[in-house]
Amino acid sequence: MSLTYSIPVFTIVALGFIINDINDIERDTVNNPERVLPQKLITSEFAIVAYYLLLLATLIVIKFFMPLSSVFVFMLYLVLIINYNYLVDSFPYLKNFYVLIISTVHLSIIFLLVPINWFFAGCIILNILCQEILLDLRDLKGDGETLPKILGKKLTVRLVLFLQSLQLLLLIAYRKFNFMHWSLILLIISTQVLLYFFWQHKNNTLLISTLKAQTIMLFALIL
């Protein structure tokens, strides 16, 4: 069952990244020139074919292998991801909140398989929101009127620090207080110190990688 549910999640996320990269070629030429399409390592036509193949695979798996009760969640996830670029192009300041909605739907797929853990969900959502805000802060030069561009660098950093603090408080409020829980709290605090260090040294790559490491750590909560 886990494998059945994970295949369409993988294909939906993959086709979402592909269509995003196709639409963002001009922006990525400025913000992320090391990516595949700006470097012309593959053609846009090849990327479009890959997108449609993944879309076809997604629809086949949902149609023939997914329980009817779960179909709506996966189709909602698909629709939200493939329409991401329309919102970014027209309302870039809503981008982070849109990603927050997608992340919530993504987590709801996990909770089709396991009991809902609201602490886990809250920590992961806050973590992903921090990642998205910092990615937009990194990409200020090539993006439109995103939230970090409206708020400014200093206020954006304070917002991320506030969200990280909320994440830590939520983790403490979980109140299991066993070895795993305390280890997780200490690891999150350590990564938050690293985040500040990398920010001071303007190392955006390690900054985002540290937040992703936090995401992996927080998955321990689902246990």
Q: Which of 86, 117, 139 is the last residue of a domain?
A: 86
Closest CA to 76 of 57, 103, 53, 94: 103
- Same domain for 169 and 154: yes
- Same domain for 167 and 220: yes
Closest CA to 99 of 114, 81, 115: 81
Q: What pLDDT score does 152 carry?
A: 87
How large is the average pLDDT for residues 206-217?
81
Q: What angle do CA 99, 23, 103 make, to 5 degrees?
A: 15
The string over 156-176, giving b where at least 16 C-beta atoms fall within 10 Å of a residue's C-beta and e elsewhere, is bbebbeebbeebbebbeebee
**For 72-115, how does the pLDDT look when each residue is reduced to its tens digit (9 = 90+)?**
999 999 999 999 888 888 888 888 899 899 999 998 998 888 88
Domain that holds residue 82: 1-86
- Same domain for 173 and 198: yes
- Same domain for 60 and 15: yes
Q: Which of 57, 86, 115 is the last residue of a domain?
A: 86
How many domains does the chain divide into?
Answer: 2
Task: Map tokens 């990603």 to a residue.
Answer: 99
Q: At residue 42, does pLDDT exceed 90?
A: no
Q: Which of 67, 86, 105 is the last residue of a domain?
A: 86
pLDDT band at 46 (very low <50, low <70, confident <90, very high): very high
Cβ proximity of 51 and 85 under 8 Å? no
Instruction: Please state, for a pLDDT cut of 90, what percent of the chain lies above it.
Output: 25
- Would residue 71 be called left, alpha or beta, if left means φ above 0 and alpha means ψ between -120 and 50 degrees? alpha
